[in-house]
Amino acid sequence: MRMEGTPEDVFRRRTGVPVTGSTRRGQWGSQIGFILAAAGSAVGLGNIWRFPYMAGQNGGGAFLLVYLVCVALIALPVMLLEISLGRATQRNPVGAILAVAPGSRWRYLGYLALLTGLAILSYYSVIAGKVLTFCTLYIRRAVMGGAVTYSGATFEVVIYFAIFLVLTVLVVSGGVQRGIERWTKILMPLLVVIMAAIIVRGLFLPGAMRGLRWFLTPDFSKITPRVVLNAMSQGFFSLSLGMGAMLTYGSYLSRKDNVLRCGVWVVVFDTLIAVMAGFMIFPAVFALGGDPAAGSTLIFQVLPKVFGAMEGGGLIAIVFFLLLCVAALTSTVSLLEVVTAYFVDERGWSRTRTVWSVGGAALIVGIPSALSLAEIRPWDTLVLFGKTGFLSVMDFVWGNLSLAIGSLLLCLFAITRWRLARAAAEIEEGAPAFAPFKGVWTFFVRWVCPISIAVILATKVFSLG
Ligand code: PHE
């Protein structure tokens, strides 16, 4: 399909409203640039820290099965929707909504996206700081010998958290397009290779097969409303959906780019890494002794044991934790970029002023999360939604609930305001292969996604299990 016209005509056709404000934006150097940045946003601690932790607490094989179903049936359609809304409007989340529905209350959905981005950035950077700490612990051991022990000293936790935020700010202040493209192209395949090596070592440990079986055999009796909510939300979290990251990255795509291919590729790659993380952790948990349901400290307990059992494990540990830092950095960059794009596009702030202000806000918001990881745990007695501790509560509220609610509202917005026919036409532009799937996709975004997200949220809330 190729309909021409002035840029204003094109904008009206795609959004349903005339141009408001400027439509000129930076774009990715190439389609591969978008794929790499989007995959960089998706692949991160969500795959390697959060996925095993969730799978471990939610029944192993049962969780994996529900996760894969949710990714294919709910997250993939939402992914295409988010990218296409971004590309159609060439805006940040708030701007995109206002471009389609000027002055409407739907803009609060955009604000929710920004708030969620800031909240996730705050506690995600705390965990990323812990990964960075492990890098330095292994480097120190390589140089000076001794044991690797994570002290959790308050000062250390806060400093590494701050360092990680500053790194994020520095990358985003240079503009997302530069930098990320070059890094991810080399470092992400390298991460896959290192993970493969760790998996192979783990599988040869005596007793590893029990862990493998536990991870791959679904026990259907374990599928409860809580497991389903956690699996679905993990899908949104891992794919960076429901808070405008894919929308914002999609806004830097050009009309010639293939939204379908980009979306499918990111989903497949991200899922591959998550499943690999499962293969990396669970055989080792069963072989080396550990509790799969240990929670948010799972990988930090298990991996040092695997590295200890590996020939040259100290060196591999350094490379692995460094790569994981980079993977986490490309994710925090996307979180910060969403909020930054809003202030730059809509408020006319300079990029530099925005990134430092938002980074500073994330630092303040993240302090309680950092403390809940450190020795003083002033909020250790905080119990909300069955979660204990500030960081876990933050992760549940923003990483689980808010992303699911954001994705649900995005579907409703597309159905009632943007119109799915327009969305489908947007995806098809640049992706002729989408034509035969238009009907199916529309059916999913209109019925399957919103109804299942709503039902899953409601069952969980009412069952309180
Ligand atoms: N998807 C990222 C990860 O798996 C985290 C993230 C969530 C990034 C939401 C952006 C938005 O690590």
Beta strands in 251-358 (DSSP E): none
pLDDT reported for residue 18: 62
DSSP-derived secondary structure letter, 381: T
DSSP letters along 71-95, please? IIIIIHHHHHHHHHHHHHHTS-HHH
According to CATH, the superfamily of the domain at 32-376+404-451 is Hydantoin permease (1.10.4160.10)
Beta partners for residue 387, in sequence order? 384
Tokens standing for residue 224 = 């409860």
pLDDT reported for residue 51: 98
How many angstroms separate the alpha carbon of residue 328 from the centre of ligand 1? 8
Cβ atoms within 10 Å, residue 465: 11
How many angstroms separate the alpha carbon of residue 318 from the centre of ligand 1? 23
Task: Return the residue whose CA atom lies nearest to atom 7 of ligand 1.
Answer: 240
What is the spatial distance between Cα 168 and Cα 314, in angstroms, rounded to a whole number? Answer: 27
What is the spatial distance between Cα 266 and Cα 263, in angstroms, rounded to a whole number? Answer: 5
CA-44 nearest atom, ligand 1: 12
pLDDT reported for residue 208: 97
Q: Which of 126, 240, 246 to mutate to test the pocket of ligand 1 (most atoms within 8 A of CB)?
A: 240
Measure the CA dihedral 241/448/226/127, to 10°. -10
Using CA atoms, how far residue 136 sits from 142, 145, 319, in Å, is 10, 13, 11
Task: Return the residue whose CA atom lies nearest to atom 6 of ligand 1.
Answer: 240
Q: Which of 236, 275, 334, 401 to mutate to test the pocket of ligand 1 (most atoms within 8 A of CB)?
A: 334
pLDDT reported for residue 377: 65
Contact 410/423 with Cβ under 8 angstroms? no
The region that residue 21 occupies, defined by phi over 0 for left and psi between -120 and 50 for alpha, beta otherwise, is left
CA-237 nearest atom, ligand 1: 7
Amino acid at 305: K
Strand 383-384 relative to strand 387-388: parallel, antiparallel, unpaired? Answer: antiparallel
DSSP letters along 419-435, please? -HHHHHHHHHTT-GGGG
How many angstroms separate the alpha carbon of residue 402 from the centre of ligand 1? 13
Measure the CA dihedral 16/447/258/87, to 10°. 40
Q: Which residues line ligand 1 (CB under 6 A)?
A: 41-42, 44-47, 120, 237-238, 240, 243, 245, 331, 334-335
What is the spatial distance between Cα 418 and Cα 426, in angstroms, rounded to a whole number? Answer: 11
Contact 93/338 with Cβ under 8 angstroms? yes
How many angstroms separate the alpha carbon of residue 2 from the centre of ligand 1? 34
How many angstroms separate the alpha carbon of residue 326 from the centre of ligand 1? 13
Nearest to 16 by CA among 374, 458, 431, 416: 416
Contact 87/426 with Cβ under 8 angstroms? yes
pLDDT reported for residue 42: 97
Burial of 402 per CB tally in 10 Å (0-12, 13-18, 19+):
buried
Tokens standing for residue 66 = 């529900």
Q: Which of 123, 237, 405 to mutate to test the pocket of ligand 1 (most atoms within 8 A of CB)?
A: 237
How many angstroms separate the alpha carbon of residue 29 from the centre of ligand 1? 23
Contact 216/305 with Cβ under 8 angstroms? no
Using CA atoms, how far residue 123 sits from 253, 323, 365, 399, 406, in Å, is 29, 20, 8, 10, 19
What is the spatial distance between Cα 433 and Cα 429, in angstroms, rounded to a whole number? Answer: 10
- Please name the residues in contact with 5: beta carbons below 8 A apart, sequence gap of 6 or more: 13
Four-residue CA torsion sign, 152, 156, 159, 165: negative
Nearest to 174 by CA among 337, 3, 396: 337
pLDDT reported for residue 180: 67
Cβ atoms within 10 Å, residue 330: 26
Four-residue CA torsion sign, 306, 191, 262, 329: positive
Question: What is the model's pTM?
Answer: 0.94
Q: How far is CA 277 from the centre of its chain?
A: 15
Residue-by-residue pLDDT tens, the chain, 465 positions: 345 566 667 667 777 766 544 444 667 767 778 888 899 999 999 999 999 999 999 999 999 999 999 999 999 999 999 999 999 999 999 999 999 999 999 999 999 999 999 999 999 999 999 999 999 999 999 999 888 889 888 999 999 999 999 999 999 988 766 656 777 778 888 999 999 999 999 999 999 999 999 999 999 999 999 999 999 999 999 999 999 999 999 998 888 899 999 999 999 999 999 999 999 999 999 999 899 999 999 999 999 999 999 989 999 999 999 999 999 999 999 999 999 999 999 999 999 999 999 999 999 999 999 998 887 666 666 777 777 789 999 999 999 999 999 999 999 999 999 999 999 999 999 999 999 999 999 999 999 999 999 999 998 777 754
Task: Return the residue whose CA atom lies nearest to atom 10 of ligand 1.
Answer: 240
